[in-house]
Amino acid sequence: MPSLNRRRLLQLSGSAALAAATPVQARSVTDDWSGDVAILRQTWEAMHPGLYRYSTPEEISARLDGLAHAWRTPGSFRDRFLALTRVTASIRCGHTYPSPYNGSDAMVAALYPDRSLVPFRFRWIDGRIVVTDDHTPEGTLPRGSVITAVNGVPTSDLLGGLIALARADGHNDPKRINLMEVRGEDRFETFDIHLPLILPLESHADFELGDGRIVRAALVTLADRRSRLAPSADPSGDANPWTLEKRPDGIHVLTTANWALYGSTFAWEAWLGQVMDDLTHDGAKGLIIDLRGNEGGLDCGHVILTRLIDRDLPLSRNQRWTRYRSAPEAVRPYLHTWDRSFLDWGDKAQPSADRPGFYRLTRYDDGDDGTVIRPQGTRFAGMVAVLCDASNSSATFGFAQAVQENGLATLIGQPTGGNRRGINGGAFFFLQLPASGLEVDLPLIASFPSTPQPDAAILPDLAVPTTADDIRLGRDPQMTAAIARLTA
């Protein structure tokens, strides 16, 4: 869905429920948090537009009953957080989860126990961990190392447990696998949060390699992980987080690893418009847009589209719906966001017999055809390829869908994130649960296709996988395929 992505929008103030000097995840929690579940239940039932997209009301109610029981029963913070994560993941919504981006500092501290993170970045390939960057001091896990077990637990078993905890739309498991990789593209890695829930680690871990050797390596901290982040992972100030390469063969490569520019003052619209205009002026033979690793953010792709079309382009025929016109007064104290007008849509939300229990939302639409992109600047008529992967699940999902449906570019790579049945997003509340101090992201707008669609991702026009040998040898098969396509 276009418009705003749920990450990097707001850092909320801390909660006393988690503010303690001792490791919270190791303490036994005896407080009754079940009141938070009542707040969560009331909020979801009144406001979550995708709550029943893949589950029945009875199934959701039973899961919340189970969570309330778990949060009344003494247990560790880790156990309680695991119970919450199982419930949020079961909604099968890529924008519903307890988010460290919008939670308190104390929540982040509890989610990232000191020195408990694996000392490398990696990809999942065929149920095995393949190292892409070795961060061990001794260099004992070089690029391309294949790890088959961690502390004696097969990686395929770990992946199965992690998939059940990952946020994604519908049954798009490639997105869940993608989230459980460590790529160095985010301030908070989903894998780092969730692995300790199913395999507690502390200080060191044993990594079994494909050749049978076992390497014991020291684990790292969140600070260690962040110290190696590229600036593009957390754009700020007026720095340009994107790159443009003008190859000697006439192919220009635009890499935009992040569209979440909420905290940035970079004049991205002017820069991107100029890049697109210059393609024609420079006589570029083709353009490759690298969206791999880019989950979404602002609708940066709209600027690109304005230079690829010669007539008005309705972006989507998906209608947008919300479950409420005015947020219930009882839950308003727990709802935080960047735009308080989300509390009451007013006459922009209209009931419709087409979808009982929902309001047709027109606030972000330009009529029934959705947002219309109009030609601007200098049109580029050359060949365009877009490199995609399962990260693309919000604004980048919408962009990939638009270029493919309108024949504006060739999608090359791997299936996207998101879901063709529609996703939830567009506007958000950050639900602060007072007893636990946890936060759960709440998307407010659901898109539904006008015609039946499969419960699936967008498939690339040219599927190109990555192998362990590609990683070991430093090859980029998707880029190679795109260059070959545009220079043929």
Structure confidence by residue, pLDDT tens digits, 116-158: 999 999 999 999 999 999 999 999 999 999 999 999 999 999 9
Domains of the chain: residue spans and CATH: 120-229 (2.30.42), 232-331+340-424+437-487 (3.90.226.10)
Token readout for 274 is: 């100029």
Burial label for 216, CB within 10 Å (0-12, 13-18, 19+), is exposed
Confidence band for 376, pLDDT divided at 50, 70 and 90? very high
Altogether, the residues listed in the chain come to a count of 488
Burial label for 282, CB within 10 Å (0-12, 13-18, 19+), is exposed
d(CA 119, CA 134): 7
Contact at 8 Å (CB) between 220 and 256? no
Say yes or no to pLDDT of 219 above 80: yes
Q: First vs last Cα of the chain: how many Å apart? A: 34
Structure confidence by residue, pLDDT tens digits, 263-278: 899 999 999 999 999 9
The residue whose two tokens read 């309108």 is 406
The percent of residues in the chain predicted with pLDDT above 90, rounded, is: 84
d(CA 274, CA 261): 18
- pLDDT score of 426: 87
The residue that leads in pLDDT, 451 or 218, is 218
- pLDDT score of 250: 97
Say yes or no to pLDDT of 411 above 50: yes
Token readout for 40 is: 């969560």
Select from 98, 76, 78, 103 the least CA-distant residue to 87. Answer: 98
d(CA 203, CA 77): 19
Structure confidence by residue, pLDDT tens digits, 63-121: 999 999 999 999 999 999 999 999 999 999 999 999 999 999 999 999 998 899 999 99
d(CA 54, CA 91): 7
Confidence band for 185, pLDDT divided at 50, 70 and 90? confident
- pLDDT score of 363: 59
Strands 128-134 vs 243-246: parallel, antiparallel or unpaired: unpaired
- pLDDT score of 316: 67
- pLDDT score of 27: 61
Radius of gyration (Cα) for the chain, nearest Å? 23
- pLDDT score of 419: 97
Per-position DSSP letters for 422-455, written without gaps between them = --EEEEEEEEE-TTT--EEEEEEEEEE-SS---S
Question: CA 7 from chain center: how many Å?
Answer: 8
Structure confidence by residue, pLDDT tens digits, 413-457: 999 999 999 999 989 999 999 999 999 999 999 999 988 999 999
Per-position DSSP letters for 306-359, written without gaps between them = HTT-SS-EE----EEEES-SB--GGGGGGEE-S-GGGGB-GGGEEE-TTSTT-E
For residue 102, give the 3-state DSSP assignment. coil
Taking each helix axis from N to C end, the angle separating 57-72 and 34-47, rounded to the nearest 10 degrees, works out to 160
* Exposure string for 156-186, b = 16+ CB within 10 A, e = fewer: eebbeebbebbbbbbebebbbbbbbbbbbbb
Structure confidence by residue, pLDDT tens digits, 299-336: 999 999 999 999 999 876 578 899 999 999 999 999 99
Q: pTM score, two decimals?
A: 0.90
Token readout for 463 is: 């599927």
- In the chain, count of helices (H) and strands (E)? 13, 22
- Tell me, what DSSP letter sits at residue 125? E
- pLDDT score of 141: 98
d(CA 54, CA 455): 10
Per-position DSSP letters for 47-116, written without gaps between them = H-TTTTSSS-HHHHHHHHHHHHHHHHS-EEHHHHHHHHHHHHHHT--TT-S--TTTS-HHHHHHHS-TT-
User: Given its phi and psi angles, is residue 32 left (phi above 0), alpha (psi -120 to 50 degrees) or beta?
Assistant: beta
Confidence band for 18, pLDDT divided at 50, 70 and 90? very low
d(CA 449, CA 442): 21
Confidence band for 369, pLDDT divided at 50, 70 and 90? very low
Q: What is the mean pLDDT of residues 2-9?
A: 39
d(CA 258, CA 243): 11
Structure confidence by residue, pLDDT tens digits, 39-58: 999 999 999 999 999 999 99
Say yes or no to pLDDT of 191 above 90: yes
d(CA 272, CA 278): 10
Average model confidence (pLDDT) for the chain? 91
